[in-house]
Structure 1
Amino acid sequence: MNKKSNLAFGKKNYILMLIGIGVLITGFTLMTLDKEEYGFGVLGLTIGPIVVMAGFIIQFFAIMHKPKEDK
Structure 2
Amino acid sequence: MGEKKRRQESEIDKNFVFEKKNYKFMLIGLAVIALGFILMAGGGSDDPEVFNPEIYNWQRIRLAPTLILIGFAIEVYAILLKPSGD
Q: Shorter-normalised TM-score: what interval?
A: 0.7 to 0.9
Per the normalisation by structure 2, the TM-score is 0.71
The question of 1:8 aligning with 2:17 is answered yes
In structure 2, the residue matched to 1:23 is 32
**Which structure has the larger Rg over C-alpha atoms?**
2
In structure 2, the residue matched to 1:49 is 65
Q: Shift of residue 38 of structure 1? A: 7.8
CA-atom RMSD, angstroms?
Answer: 1.9
Per the normalisation by structure 1, the TM-score is 0.84
Measured in 2, the distance between the counterparts of 1:49 and 1:24 equals 9
Where does the alignment leave 5 or more consecutive residues of structure 2 unmatched?
Answer: 1-5, 45-51
Count, aligned residues? 70
Where does the alignment leave 5 or more consecutive residues of structure 1 unmatched?
Answer: none
Extract structure 1 runs of 4+ deviating beyond 4 A: 33-38
Measured in 2, the distance between the counterparts of 1:34 and 1:20 equals 25
Measured in 2, the distance between the counterparts of 1:8 and 1:18 equals 15
Identity %: 34
Greater helix percent: which structure? 2
